């Protein structure tokens, strides 16, 4: 195989790989339905690529709660001491269209704001969506 064809094939394969990686990363796009509910934490899964909490609602449904990446959460004060298994928390989130998965904007514990999803620059997920909501206003 001559060099130009190998370069072309290599470029095409690289593009396909990059596209599949981009598709695998989850954004907020498909998470449309907004949910405000109370859940009980059953498991902590704090680590890369995103911190997660496993929780059940009053009906016994188990939910996968997606939070920001761990380094970002630690920088803004959320860590393994913030919540524990058995804690009852109120959340404001958006639901995945096919899975029992929620991307969490806000977590409240005992009526106090405990967590806000933030990006590297400190901007909140709600502010980024430009919907004039904030976790402080929802409590």
This prediction has a pTM of 0.79
Distance CA 82, CA 104 (A): 15
Annotated domain spans of the chain: 29-138
Distance CA 107, CA 111 (A): 9
**Class of domain 29-138 (CATH, top level):** mainly beta
pLDDT in tens, 15-41: 444 443 344 455 777 898 999 999 999
pLDDT in tens, 67-121: 999 999 999 999 999 999 999 999 999 999 999 999 999 999 999 999 999 999 9
């Amino acid at each position: 195989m001559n060099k130009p064809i190998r370069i072309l094939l290599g470029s095409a394969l690289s593009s396909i790989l990059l596209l599949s990686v981009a598709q695998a990363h989850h954004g907020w796009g498909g998470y449309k339905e907004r949910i405000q509910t109370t859940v009980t934490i059953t498991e902590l899964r704090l680590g890369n690529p995103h911190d997660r909490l496993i929780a059940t609602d009053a009906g016994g449904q188990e939910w996968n709660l997606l939070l920001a990446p761990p380094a970002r959460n630690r920088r803004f004060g959320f860590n393994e001491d913030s919540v524990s298994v058995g804690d009852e928390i109120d959340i404001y989130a958006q639901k995945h269209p096919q899975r029992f998965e929620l991307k969490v904007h806000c977590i409240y514990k005992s009526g106090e704001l405990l967590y806000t999803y933030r990006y590297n620059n400190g901007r909140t997920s709600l502010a980024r969506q430009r919907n004039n909501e904030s976790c402080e206003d929802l409590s």
